[in-house]
A = this chain, B = another copy of it.
Amino acid sequence: MKKVTVYITLKPGVLDPQGKAIQESLQSLGYQEVEDARVGKFIELQVEEGPNIEERITEMCDRLLANPVIENYQFDLEGVK
């Protein structure tokens, strides 16, 4: 069993209203030092080992996990460089 962590972020030009709300809330709580906040998500998958695991993860990202129009993704395979 391998642990795969997929990190999904909005592309740089894409507005992030949730991040903006977090930044403004932090500032209004007194954390003036916070100049920007961007929110992303990550998905931890437990995957049975098999052939072509990297290709299959890439396919999962493109087909379901990320929206390639507005999001970038990257993933880490535990124990694999």
Binding site for B on A (CB under 8 A): 1, 7, 9, 19, 22-23, 25-26, 29, 31, 33-50, 53, 56, 60, 63-65
Closest to A2 in B: B33
Q: Give bound CA distance, A47 to B22, whole Å.
A: 13
Copies in the complex: 2
Q: Give bound CA distance, A46 to B31, whole Å.
A: 12
- List 24 A-B pairs, Cβ < 8 Å: A1-B35, A7-B42, A22-B65, A23-B45, A25-B64, A26-B64, A29-B63, A29-B64, A31-B60, A33-B47, A33-B50, A33-B56, A35-B48, A36-B44, A37-B43, A37-B44, A38-B44, A39-B42, A39-B43, A39-B44, A40-B41, A41-B41, A41-B42, A42-B42
